[in-house]
Amino acid sequence: MKRIGVFVCHCGSNIAHTVDCKQVADEAAAMPGVVHAQEYKYMCSEPGQVLIQEAVKEHNLDGYVVTACSPRMHETTFRKCAGRCGLNPYMVEQVNIREHCSWVHADKEAGTEKAIDLMRMGVAKVLKNEPLKAATIPMTKRALVIGAGIAGIQAALDIADNGFPVTLLDREHSIGGRMAQIDKTFPTLDCSACILTPKMVEVAQHPNVELMTYAEVESVGGFIGSFDVTIRKKARYVDTKRCTGCGACIQKCPSKVPSEFEMEMGPRKSIYVPFPQAVPNKPVIDAPHCRYLQTGKCGICKKICPTDAIRFDDQDEVVTERFGTIVVATGYQQFDISAYEEYGGGRIPDVITGMHLERLLNASGPTSGKIKRPSDGKEPKNIVFIKCVGSRDEAKNRPYCSKTCCMYVAKQATLLKEKLPASKSYIFYMDVRTGGKNYEEFYRRTQVDYDGHYIRGRVSKIFQVGDRLIVRGDDSLLGRPVEIEADLVVLAAGMDPQHDARELARTLGIAYDAHGWYTEAHPKLKPVETQTGGIFLAGACQGPKDIPDSVAQGSAAAVKASALLTKTELTGEPMIAQCNEAMCSGCGLCVTICPYKAITRQPKQERIHGKMRERMVSTINSGLCQGCGACTVACPSSAMNMGGFSDEQIMAEVDALCQR
Amino acid sequence: MKELHNVNVAMRTLARELLESGTVAGVYGWKKGSRPTLTSPLYIQDAAKADRLAYDQYAVSNLSALLLDHRNNDKKRAIFVKGCDSRGVVRLLQDQQITPEQVLVIGLPCPGMVDEAGSLLTKCAECRFPNPVMADQVLGGVEVSKQPSAPTGVTAEAARKVGVGSRAGERMAQVAQLEGKTAAEKEAYWAEQHDKCIRCYACRNVCPACNCRDCIFDTEKKGWVSKAATSSANAFFAITRAMHVAGRCVDCGECERVCPMDIPIMTVNRKLQQDIEALFGPYDAGVDETVVPPLGRYQTDDPEEFL
């Protein structure tokens, strides 16, 4: 029989307060197989670990149980501790008598009884433990960043600066993302383009960066270290190698389309670059709006092009490339204000969103920076902002705060006052949230120096009377209704996940929350990791974020990705499914139930009834398997077993619990 | 049975041709047994023995599980099937224990199976798929159907008269009756049933869904499951068996029919069918081999009420 040690941790008074640790140790010592049991105040501390190591040597232990906090806290500590004294790290079981016992019970007698039961289960399990060894996985030293907004650009730059090749992919034909659309940035009011475009140029010219714009991820296979990503490069109809970006084609193109970049407040051509500082600054043809591609008549761009770069026969190109790690930085989209029927969003032309106003404020925007309202081009005098439109509203299934609106409204009110000194901004708010360096100060200035009139309350209705808008709401501080005659209403639309965020998540095999924001591996301690090894998150795809946060996350994700890229091979997780091929009947139920596509049926040569025959058995890809255990439950033959959680171990635990 | 006279002749002729031409290496069918009310399984490899084949209202045995004897053999076997047998064949195909190339399925019309006293078996009265759900060829004018349907072919009228499928709507009645009991009553009921079990494993041996290479009840793993026929070990066996075929049971009712101790095994199988349908929507196992069983597939919108 194995020689087992049991170490009972007090966790100060966290455990000892509700559990008689001495009694637990005494009971443990009496169990068959247990040759040593002792208690100590902090097993995770340096002296605690030394104590374990000495006991392992002195009593020649084959394995041990630590009854302490959750394995989420210290399993690695105690496994490494075993490794240091020559034991296989997987000959250790940590039993949770804190979260599962002392913290949730008040009665010491009952708590002790439960702790003893849990300890007995741990001992029964560790007696069945087998040493586990992790397989190694090769590492492809190349990263993919999906989404080239500010977070993605920052991540790509940092990975590239660390010396690794990185591909920066975006589905739009210019990098820059949302930040490129924004006029000025809070709280310093520096021009967004002025700080973004140098980064765009830097990333485009970096020798380690490959730009892949106008491209979308179609499918992702493989696993950490070798993701096989299939990418669709959309037809541009322009040969980027020949095109010099002279713009002659854009000037001559006769077909005008509302510009998405300008929030459809201005036109663009069918052959276009979205904005003047676009990178790469080479146009693409918008096929559904191109006269030649739709009717076969026109072709002016081809005639005028001095370098013969127009390719009307261009086709989508699908490539599959291998990457070791992926950073997802796909950002957000603005909430669709038409959901607020009472505000006339999308129906009344002078009810616009924050992003519309950004474009109106911008010197290269559709009005060249003049504030003209969309309906008649008049300069507005009274401007009403309404905050929390598509944020903090349970009825619209947006219970979360979009985090940036309080500050961008303050910024826009400030900018409006600077541009139109005679104007007046009224801001309806629920709460003003200005957490962030120099944010609160900025908000104060908006109120004090820029005449921002903040009204606490919700707006119930907006309607048109003549060429003015009547905004009817409630001032909850004064407790009375208010009505403001406005020329322009700006809805501070919140952030939504990208409309296809869920689809991409499923392609990548990463988790998302009820709204479609990507889920980090731990809300505090693993903010840029996902549950899927080798895939990291940056920016607003994980939840509403402003520019500083997005940049910080981009860098953080880059560090995580780079740390992987420095390795030539990775150590896999040994607690994964194992298939007993002798038992496996090859039915393939595990193949269809596996969420990670980690199982395949492979032929196995075998001598059956005196003849060499081939039969199919399940094989597990150790890189893909996440140890979820779905296959072990589905397998009718019990051929599938989980390393560290085998049927025998779990059965032993149940037996131990039932036999008291 | 006079309606089946021509079918019997055709069966023998076809079997003889298939064996003589070498199209198949063996044929699964039935033969007349030692009593007039007994029609038992027959496997022939010799064309000369084709005349022993017989099929009538006593040919109750589901032959499909017998194909497992040849799962590591490349040669083709022919098998005669009723509706329930054909679902067993689909089970084996879907579980990838046999390949379509290994089997030639010949569909037969089902007159409804009767016991020695001549009364229709419960499983036939509750039958929803009396016609083969798949077949390479058919005899006796039976129609292949993947939908619940009325009996077809030369015995359609006879089957209707004895009441095949007449109680299909009440097939969950036994489950409902047990669900009405308290937990203590249910425990007592099942304890009484499981105490009868002699662990002969007839239920397992006849079942087309029990197609593991090594059954866990035959393994030597100490402590996993006791081979002793004690109350708790019997219950463990019964529950494990039911869970192993959950979502895969083709509802042929053979386990309950072959049980020498009259344990109502199908009640457990049906309860699982009912629960699976409540959670994952309507599903008939062993009908369409392209539809993955609900408990064998992963979907992001699977119910997760426990989370």
DSSP chain B: -GGGHHHHHHHHHHHHHHHHTTS-SEEEEEEE-SSTT-EEEEEE--GGGGGGB--STT-----GGGGGGGTT--S-EEEEE-HHHHHHHHHHHHTTSS-GGGEEEEE------B-TTSPBPHHHHT-S--S-S--SEESTTPPP-SS-----STTHHHHHHHTTTTTGGGTTHHHHHHHTS-HHHHHHHHHHHHHH-----HHHHH-SS---SS-GGGS--TTT---S--HHHHHHHHHHHHHHHTTT-----HHHHH-TT---HHHHHHHHHHHHHHHH----TTS-TTS--GGG---TT---TT-
- Which among A44, A370, A437 has a CA at the least distance from the CA of A183? A370
Which tokens hold the place of A235? 């037809």
Compute the average pLDDT of residues A206-228: 94
Per-residue model confidence as pLDDT tens digits over A138-194: 999 999 999 999 999 999 999 999 999 999 999 999 999 999 999 999 999 999 999
Chain-chain contact of A637 with B214 (C-beta, under 8 angstroms) = yes
Looking at chain A, the domain(s) classified CATH 3.40.50 span: 4-127
From chain B residues 221-240, the ones with a CB under 8 A of any chain A CB are 221, 223-224
**Contact list, A634 vs chain B (CB under 8 Å):** 295-296
Q: Hey, is the C-beta of B289 within 8 angstroms of any chain A C-beta?
A: no
Q: Hey, is the C-beta of A638 within 8 angstroms of any chain B C-beta?
A: yes
Q: At residue A660, does pLDDT exceed 80?
A: no
Q: Whole-angstrom Cα distance, residue B54 to residue B50?
A: 9
Q: Whole-angstrom Cα distance, residue A42 to residue A610?
A: 61
Three-state SS for A394? Answer: helix
Per-residue model confidence as pLDDT tens digits over A588-629: 999 999 988 899 999 999 887 788 888 999 999 888 888 999
- The confidence band for A512, taking pLDDT boundaries of 50, 70 and 90, is very high
Q: Hey, is the C-beta of A647 within 8 angstroms of any chain B C-beta?
A: yes
Chain-chain contact of B223 with A613 (C-beta, under 8 angstroms) = no
Query: Considering the domain A577-643, what is its CATH architecture?
Result: 2-Layer Sandwich (3.30)
> What DSSP designation does A27 have?
H
Q: Whole-angstrom Cα distance, residue A243 to residue A14?
A: 69
Nearest CB to A651: which of B223, B293, B298? B223
CATH of segment(s) A143-331+497-565: 3.50.50.60
Closest residue in A to B290 (Cα) is A592
**Contact list, A595 vs chain B (CB under 8 Å):** 298
Q: How many CB pairs under 8 A join A and B?
A: 62
Compute the average pLDDT of residues A540-556: 97
pLDDT score recorded for residue B307? 54
pTM for this prediction: 0.72
Looking at chain A, the domain(s) classified CATH 3.30.70.3270 span: 577-643
Residue of B96, B210, B292 for testing the chain A interface, max A β-carbons within 10 Å: B96
Compute the average pLDDT of residues A584-589: 93
Three-state SS for A334? Answer: strand
DSSP character string of A439-506: HHHHHHHHHHTS--EEEES-EEEEEEETTEEEEEEEETTTTEEEEEEESEEEEEE-EEE-TTHHHHHH
Rg for chain A, CA atoms, rounded: 31
Annotation: CATH topology of A335-496: FAD/NAD(P)-binding domain (3.50.50)
Which tokens hold the place of A406? 């309080």
pLDDT score recorded for residue B246? 93
- The number of angstroms, rounded, from the C-alpha of A207 to the middle of its chain's C-alpha atoms is 27
Q: Hey, is the C-beta of B293 within 8 angstroms of any chain A C-beta?
A: yes
- Which among A193, A320, A227 has a CA at the least distance from the CA of A509? A227
Looking at chain A, the domain(s) classified CATH 3.50.50.60 span: 143-331+497-565, 335-496
**Contact list, A636 vs chain B (CB under 8 Å):** 212, 244-245, 248
Query: Considering the domain A4-127, what is its CATH architecture?
Result: 3-Layer(aba) Sandwich (3.40)
Residue of A507, A593, A596, A613 for testing the chain B interface, max B β-carbons within 10 Å: A593
Distance from CA of A108 to the nearest CA of B (A): 30
Tens-level pLDDT at each residue, chain B (307 residues): 889 999 999 999 999 999 999 999 999 999 999 999 999 999 999 999 999 999 999 999 999 999 999 888 889 999 999 999 999 999 999 999 999 999 999 999 999 999 999 999 999 999 999 999 999 999 999 999 999 999 999 999 999 999 999 999 999 999 999 999 999 999 999 999 999 999 999 999 999 999 998 888 888 776 677 888 888 899 999 999 999 999 999 999 999 999 999 999 999 999 999 999 999 999 999 999 999 999 988 887 787 776 5
Nearest CB to A594: which of B219, B244, B298? B298
Q: Which of A16-30, A249-263, A645-659 is predicted least confidently?
A: A645-659
Q: Whole-angstrom Cα distance, residue A176 to residue A537?
A: 17
Closest residue in B to A592 (Cα) is B297
**Contact list, B99 vs chain A (CB under 8 Å):** none
Long-range contacts for A599-607 (Cβ within 8 Å, ≥24 apart)? A599/A625, A599/A631, A601/B96
Chain-chain contact of B96 with A601 (C-beta, under 8 angstroms) = yes
